[in-house]
Each structure stands twice: as C-alpha cells, then as structure tokens.
Amino acid sequence: MHADETASTGSEMPGGPATRGRTVTIVWLALIAATVVGWLVSGHDGAGADPVRIATILGLAAVKIYLVIALFMGDCGMALVSPPVDLARIARIRQSQLIALNSLFPFIAVFFLGWAVLGHLIPPPSPSLGGEEMARFLLGSRDRLIACMMLSMMSIAFLMPFSAAIIGQIARIEAEGPRVWTYAALMAAAGNVVSFTFPLMFLGVALFRPDRSPDLVLLASDLGFLPFLGMACPYIAFPICVAIAGLLDTSSEPAFPRWYCWFSIASTIAILPAPMLMFFHDGWFAWNNLFGWWLPFSDVFGWMMVTWWLVRRAINAQAATATAEAAA
C-alpha cells in the first residue's frame, strides 16, 4: 500500500487491535513489576541508601517514564496505542470509488440510447453528402435527432466520475511526489469533456432551425461530425498519462500492470489515423468508415472496459489489504 492509502484507512501504527491489546497488557505488567522491584530495593530493611540502590531506583523510574510516554503519548519512537481503525470508513472509501468507476455503464447506456437507438448514427451519414442530402437526413428526423443530441450530451455527466476514479489511482502512484501525471490526466479528462460536448452542440445547431438553407445545415453538421469523430489528438492524452504513471509505478502490486501500460500506448497509436478523415469524403479514412469511425469507436470503448476492470480490481485489492491490516 502507498503511504497515503495507509493514512486514508485511519491506521497510524503497524498491527491491529489484537496486537495493540497484547502490547498494552505487557507494558502494564512491566510497569507493575518495575514498581514492585523499586519498592523492594528502596531501603525498607532499614539499611541506608547506597549508590547501587539509588542507581537501580533511578533506572526503574526511567524505564517506567519511557513506557508511559510510549504508551500514552504516541510518536516517541514506538507508538504502542493508536485509535482503532474505522472499518466502516474503509468500506465507504471503497464504495465511493466503485460508484464513480461504475458510472462508465450509465455513460455507455445513455450514449448508445441516444446515438444508436434514437439517432441511428452508427455509422454517421457519409461526408460525401451534399447540402440538400445532409439537410434531408438531419431535418427529416429532426425531433428524434434532437433527443439523440440531448441524451448524448447528458451521457458526458457519467464520463467525469469514471475519469476521476482512474485519476485517483494515478494519485496513489504519485503519493510522495509532485503528482505531475495526476494533474496532466486531470487536464486531459477535462479536455475530453469539452471535445465531446461542443461537436454535439454544433449538431444541435444544425437541427435547431428547420428553415435554414441546406448549405448552412451542411456547415453546422461538418462542425459537429469533424471534431467529434476526429478528436483523437485530444483524447489520446488521457490514456497516455495513465500508461506513463503505470510505467513509473514501482509498487509490488501496481494498479496498472506493465502489459496494460503498453496496451494503452498501442491503443492510442491505433487511432492516430482518425484525424485523416479531414482529407477524405469517402473511402477507408472517411468519418463513416474503418479508420474514421469503426476503429476509433471500438478502440476507445475497448480501452474503457479494460481500464474499468483493472481499476475495479485495484480498488477491491486496496480495500482488502487495508481491512486485513486493521484486523491483524
């Protein structure tokens, strides 16, 4: 466990309640024994004080003072007693992280409900459509597509806590440093939200006034589909931050194993051709074809699912470790 993880569980010393109880008993027995020995050598036999007796009594007093300080006053070299670990707090921390992480599934469900079920936008309309054709496609199902854009934008609310759960694991890795990659991932996640939101708003603009000229509808749809489907460059910053943080993790049980870090890097490389869609109206690089839609789409959601599984495993393992240490 990292240092901040130990602190977050409320444990301030090694050992659990049973160990601390035995230690307290031993210390109290030692104090009683020292008191009895001190009384026996204190000169009740009528003999005068001598240097050996004085040294013995002072030595026993020093031992008793040391044990009392160590027992009751905490950080003096041996914190024998600390507040009991709050197991309920460990459970709450785990539950909070899992709720944030599992928000991936409402995100996927709401997005697919809007984009696929209502919008019929898997894949999107061909970029080769002219103004009249695009206007007919969009405005012919205007109400349904407006609902599609609304649900798609609502889904972004669930993407934020999912990203935060991942960033929380990066923060654990960088607990003792300046947390450079934690902040970088935070900015990348915020950038993804913006990159996701504004294209949907432009598509909403294309649908807002049905009496617009087809050329303006085509312009607004281009402003929506081009950045939405070609946003690989902003998106890849987040998995790259996760991968680098994972490669820098030296713990025995890393949240992000080496294979996953290289998988994340390979995943980002796989979607680098996506911005090429700006050069093509048809073919494999068009925004409704292999490199413009199917590969980035499957790559992003595949990476999310693998990341969800690993972070969930890490959260459960960290909670189990904290609970075991508390009960030891």
* pLDDT tens per residue, range 282-318: 999 999 999 889 999 999 999 999 999 999 999 999 9
279 in any annotated domain: yes
Check whether 170 has a pLDDT greater than 70: yes
Average pLDDT over residues 168-183: 91
> Can you give the pLDDT at residue 41?
60
Phi, psi of 327 (to 5 degrees): -90, -5
Q: Are 129 and 225 in contact (CB under 8 A)?
A: no
Contacts of 105 by beta carbon, 8 Å cutoff, 6+ apart: none
146 in any annotated domain: yes
Same domain, yes or no, for 59 and 180?
no
Same domain, yes or no, for 94 and 224?
yes
Average pLDDT over residues 263-291: 91
Q: Are 2 and 175 in contact (CB under 8 A)?
A: yes
> Can you give the pLDDT at residue 176?
84
| Average pLDDT of the residues of the chain | 82
9 in any annotated domain: no
Q: How confident is the model at residue 275 (pLDDT cuts 50, 70, 90)?
A: confident
**Range of the structural domain that residue 101 is part of:** 87-327
236 in any annotated domain: yes
Same domain, yes or no, for 231 and 275?
yes
Among 47, 72, 97, the domain-final residue is 72
270 in any annotated domain: yes
> Can you give the pLDDT at residue 132?
95
Q: Are 97 and 315 in contact (CB under 8 A)?
A: yes
Same domain, yes or no, for 100 and 62?
no
Same domain, yes or no, for 46 and 130?
no
Same domain, yes or no, for 24 and 143?
no
255 in any annotated domain: yes
Same domain, yes or no, for 61 and 122?
no
Same domain, yes or no, for 211 and 62?
no
Among 72, 96, 113, the domain-final residue is 72
Q: How confident is the model at residue 62 (pLDDT cuts 50, 70, 90)?
A: low
Per the structure, the count of domains in the chain is: 2
Q: Which residue has the higher pLDDT, 139 or 2?
A: 139
Q: Compute the distance between CA of residue 165 and CA of residue 101 in angstroms, rounded to an integer.
A: 5
Tokens of 203: 């598509």
- Give Cα separations from 161 to 97, 136, 183, 263 (angstroms): 9, 38, 15, 23
Task: Please report, rounded to a whole number, the percentage of residues in the chain having pLDDT higher than 90.
Answer: 56
80 in any annotated domain: no
4 in any annotated domain: no
Same domain, yes or no, for 279 and 182?
yes
Same domain, yes or no, for 97 and 45?
no
Among 28, 49, 72, the domain-final residue is 72
Check whether 262 has a pLDDT greater than 60: yes
Q: Lowest mean pLDDT of 125-139, 202-216, 225-239, 250-264, name the range.
A: 225-239
Tokens of 50: 């001598």
Same domain, yes or no, for 61 and 128?
no
DSSP 198-264: HHHHHHHHHHH-TTS-HHHHHHHHHHHHHHHHSTHHHHHHHHHHHHHHHHH--SSS-SS-HHHHHHH
Check whether 187 has a pLDDT greater than 70: yes
Same domain, yes or no, for 203 and 272?
yes
